[in-house]
């Protein structure tokens, strides 16, 4: 009897720091709303390469990954699939320009984030802003 395996899908999300803000994209596809740039890791691709590629595809920015922030894996984080996302912090120096499946790409500050923020990205952003102020990362 053949067995069927279902595994979580690896993804990346990138917190791109530009000046005193972070880049969020407005999604063209469902679920609609604002999100961190990111997406699925391609077969044969490292998570680091996927983060660089997704940042470029969605924001037109060449980024420098500065650190791996945390991995988010709650099976409910994306209603479409069970995904596991490695989140990176990156730096860029230009203004983002929406491309690929991003309808818009803008720079936001903590006190003026857009709504709605989709997936678990509001949680990721809360964790990130706590980390920037205190150095404390999320606790497993």
Q: pLDDT tens for residues 16-66?
A: 999 999 999 999 999 999 999 999 999 999 999 999 999 999 999 999 999
End-to-end alpha carbon distance in the chain = 38
The pLDDT-based confidence of 76 (bands split at 50, 70, 90) is: very high
The pLDDT-based confidence of 5 (bands split at 50, 70, 90) is: confident
| Average confidence (pLDDT) over 98-122 | 96
| Average confidence (pLDDT) over 2-18 | 92
Contact predicate 97/56, CB 8 Å: no
What is this structure's pTM? 0.94
Domain 9-134: CATH superfamily, name plus number? Nucleoside Triphosphate Pyrophosphohydrolase (3.90.79.10)
Contact predicate 31/117, CB 8 Å: no
| pLDDT given for residue 1 in this prediction | 56
| pLDDT given for residue 4 in this prediction | 82
Three-state helix/strand/coil letters over 9-46: EEEEEEEEEECCEEEEEEECCCCCCEECCEEECCCCCC
Structural domain spans, the chain: 9-134
| pLDDT given for residue 2 in this prediction | 66
Please state, rounded to an integer, the average pLDDT across all residues of the chain: 96
pLDDT at 131 over 90: yes
């Amino acid at each position: 009897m053949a067995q069927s395996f279902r595994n979580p899908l690896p993804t990346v999300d990138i917190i791109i720091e530009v000046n005193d803000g972070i880049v969020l994209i407005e999604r063209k596809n469902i679920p609609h709303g604002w999100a961190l740039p990111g997406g699925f890791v391609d077969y044969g691709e490292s998570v680091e390469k996927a983060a660089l590629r997704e940042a470029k595809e969605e924001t037109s920015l060449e980024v420098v990954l500065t650190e791996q922030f945390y991995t988010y894996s709650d099976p409910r984080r994306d209603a479409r699939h069970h995904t596991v996302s490695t989140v990176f912090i990156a730096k860029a120096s230009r203004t983002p320009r929406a491309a690929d499946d991003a309808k818009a790409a803008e720079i936001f500050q903590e006190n003026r984030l857009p709504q709605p923020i989709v997936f678990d990205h509001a949680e990721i952003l809360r964790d990130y802003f706590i980390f920037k102020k205190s150095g404390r990362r999320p606790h497993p």
